[in-house]
A and B are shown apart, each in its own frame.
Chain A
Amino acid sequence: MGPSPTLHTAALAGLEGLLNRALALDPESGRALAALDGRVFALDCTAPHFQVYLLPSTDGLQLAGHWEGEVTTRVRGEAADFAELATATDPAAALINGNLTLEGDSAPLIELQKALAGLELDWEAPLVDNLGDVAGHQLAEAFRGLFSFSRQAHASLERQLEEFIHEEARLSPPRLELEDFYRDVGTLAERSERLASRIERLKARIRRLSQ
């Protein structure tokens, strides 16, 4: 059994406010959402029970607990299954092949994820405030898993790309090697200077002895 209609609706109102305030500060994400105008995404969390429909439009993102029309993409699973996406090495594969059930067209869902991934969101606050610590936290983890994994996936991809350029293809020296090299150059420069001054001292001594 899900939360009472009042709490469920209050949690969604809180989330909707949070999302739309963040979107107002990020025009690029807003434009990406506007391109999804008319699509409807359903998230069925079975444990804890929580249902939300996401309706992107040119005005932002509307969240609803009830929807009786057509749904573009529906994702169903437990909060823990959603949360696993956040740590999956290949989130797209985990979304399709994991414990989550995906119905409908997955491409618009990926677009929605991309649009929301750039936002800095505190999913926890509105959910915990209205649904309590345990269910609120689990659902926040689920939302983070589904909508914040792209950012982590991008970070992971960037890290892997850096390693490839430095270690595998040797296209550019890694930072540590460069630092070692610069330190060696510095040491060599100091030793050269000390040698040059020693030579100068020896030359001066030779001149004094030959006089």
Chain B
Amino acid sequence: MSDKQSTHFGYREVDNDAKADLVANVFHSVASRYDLMNDLMSGGIHRIWKRFAIELSGVRKGNAVLDIAGGTGDLAARFSRIVGDQGRVVLADINDSMLRVGRDKLIDTAHQGNIEFVQADAQDLPFPDDSFDCVTIAFGLRNVTDKDRALRSMLRVLKPGGRLLVLEFSKPESELLGRAYDGYSFRVLPLMGRLVVGDSDSYQYLAESIRMHPDQETLKQMMEDAGFARVEYHNMTGGIVALHRGVKA
């Protein structure tokens, strides 16, 4: 058993095989109130972060877009309007609870016309090579067991010239902001999780997983190692969140 590869689940070291189930349990637990919690936790700013990601995506009418870990469909809804009838948006999530909440929400808001829903693992995307003009993953990469494998899989399904956008929590630029953010993450978030979703452990995991996620420069290097060109990142809200963008050459 000692030769089994391990990874992080928050601050815990777990077997690679176990992480997917542990993450799945977190998202099964929070799916029904995921949007509400996001608004509460970020003061609504997560909508601004996602909006910025959409602007940098360069998605146009008629494009094919894959939104991985698309969860409750915030990005997919907006992409659906941009690509129009001639375009295609695939909302993929490994977690069926999240996918169900997202699908219901998008159907309720009349967005289903050009959107497909696919339960898929980011590490092994079930799409042919060169399928999409743009791939996005917002607040999802840190939950993936093997991030390098996932990045290679994303590169494979992108068309040449296609863009990958990774929106993810990152490392605050200033130490002072970092300390304030730590206090918020480890004291306020679990409490909020307990009050709103009835689950403080999931939000404890959220705070821990953010700290364990690669910082801006490390993720940039990982994207370049996976084969992406012109990789750049934009810090948002003092680096609490960063948007990385890379192009398939």
Contacts and interface: CB of A to CB of B under 8 A. Distances in A.
A and B from one complex = yes
Contact of B81 (A5, A59, A64, A67): A59
A10 B58 contact: no
B234 interface: yes
B48 A66 contact: no
Contacts of B81: 59
Contact of A68 (B49, B58, B243): B58
B55 A9 contact: yes
A4 B241 CA distance: 13
Contacts of A94: none
Interface residues of B, number: 16
Nearest to A8: B52
B138 to A, nearest CB: 14
B64 to A, nearest CB: 17
B52 A6 contact: yes
Given A5-B236, A59-B81, A13 B56 contact: no
Given A4-B236, A5-B236, A65 B48 contact: no
A64 B59 CA distance: 12
Contacts of B48: 6, 9-10, 13
Contacts of B236: 4-6
A27 interface: no
A13 B78 CA distance: 13
Contact of B52 (A9, A67, A68, A69): A9
Contacts of B60: 69
Interface string B224-244: 000000000011110000010
Contact of A13 (B51, B237, B243): B51
Q: What are the nearest 6 A-B pairs in CB distance? A: A9-B52, A66-B55, A64-B55, A6-B236, A6-B237, A10-B48
29 contacts: A4-B236, A4-B237, A5-B52, A5-B234, A5-B235, A5-B243, A6-B45, A6-B48, A6-B49, A6-B52, A6-B236, A9-B48, A9-B49, A9-B51, A9-B55, A10-B45, A12-B51, A13-B47, A13-B48, A59-B81, A64-B55, A65-B52, A66-B55, A66-B56, A66-B58, A67-B55, A68-B58, A69-B58, A69-B60
Given A6-B237, A66-B55, 17 more contacts: A5-B52, A5-B234, A5-B235, A5-B236, A5-B243, A6-B45, A6-B236, A9-B48, A9-B49, A9-B51, A10-B45, A13-B47, A13-B48, A59-B81, A64-B55, A68-B58, A69-B58
